[in-house]
Structure 1
């Protein structure tokens, strides 16, 4: 399961105000980085009550938003500055209230640091990951959905490559081992809905200490 953009289901829920703080910040941050996501959010918000009623009574497929929007007049996304002086997307910069270098980065392994931003009522965690260029992240699976939005740098998993503005979606069927491209640190905004499943014994021993 992978997708460079957040799904239509998440966009619809975000426009309807149905996402919690962590998920909403993730969607808003990608919308600030990707014009196509920003356009879909703007159009979904314009649909209003009709979409809200639809999403509350039946499952939402990835094609539903495009079908509904094709029947509406084309809406121009609001033009506004998307990146603040910190170099971060505006929603994330507003949330943090400071630059990346001012955060309390905590060690989570060789070449890896993180900052916990939010914990949800069901154990969801929103956090920033900073990985040194050239390293390999320990192989792991998931006990729920993991959403990784690249802010800076780039990494790849097999033939898939993810760069700034891309969203990597992984569920409990996916086991992967991201490799950070050399040359610069990779910084990502990550939301995990449950603790990760590490294959390495060392990683599993360290997991209670890093809280992920």
Structure 2
């Protein structure tokens, strides 16, 4: 698997510093389980953060140790370096959210063969979902009210920016408007984390938006 589109340094540093919503952490963790290059960069940022803390001369506030230990205890085993448990589509970090492999996903139809499964996260203002786009089908043209990360798990799609295949991640923000189209031959399955709601250009998707929570 040759990955062409990677996580940015800014996102990996924010991930290492635990500054991102859970939805975005999930996409990054899934990508890291698939991408040796980004995983190495992420580990470097982790090491850098540890060195900064070690060299710091400031006093820790009361309860800092207990808070740190609680966070470590809350981490899933998939956060450990290179936990490789996965099925043919879903990487290990996703399997705990789904409750198994891709056959365990509880899809809900969006129309035109497109399906989604909203994943439960503790975020407000950010959401994570799996999208199933039939081969050759397209998502409605849309923009964004915030950051959107799209990780391809199966198949591939194209939009105005480039082609994205398994392991690739597309980073879109409020400046991006696009129409993703799944390539012919195989359905495209993606993990998507979105900050805020999408901005659809067509009337019908806008009317359906509150029901589909996108």
In structure 1, list runs of 5 or more residues that go unmatched. Answer: 54-77
**What do you get for the CA RMSD once the two structures are aligned?**
2.2
Quick one: structure 1 residues 205 and 100, their matched pair in 2 at CA, closer, same or farther if it must change by over 3 Å?
same
Quick one: structure 1 residues 79 and 128, their matched pair in 2 at CA, closer, same or farther if it must change by over 3 Å?
closer
TM-score, structure 2 as length reference: 0.79
Alignment correspondent of 2:205: 203
**Correspondences of 1:27-106 after superposition (within 5 Å):** 27-50=28-51, 80=82, 82-85=84-87, 87-106=89-108
Alignment correspondent of 2:9: 8
Q: Shift in Å at residue 189 of structure 1? A: 0.5
On the 8 A contact 1:28/1:91 being kept in 2, the answer is: yes
In structure 2, list runs of 5 or more residues that go unmatched. Answer: 55-79
For residues 12 and 87 of structure 1, the distance between their equivalents in structure 2, rounded to whole angstroms, comes to 27
In the TM superposition, structure 1's runs of 4+ consecutive aligned residues that sit over 6 Å from their partners are none
For residues 144 and 188 of structure 2, the distance between their equivalents in structure 1, rounded to whole angstroms, comes to 21
Alignment correspondent of 2:141: 139
For residues 87 and 100 of structure 1, the distance between their equivalents in structure 2, rounded to whole angstroms, comes to 6
TM-score, structure 1 as length reference: 0.80
Alignment correspondent of 1:24: 25
- Counterpart among 145, 157, 160 of residue 159 in structure 2: 157
Residues 143-189 of structure 1: CA deviation (Å, up to 9, x unaligned): 11111111111000136100011111111111111111011110000
Greater shift in the superposed pair: 143-152 or 120-129: 120-129
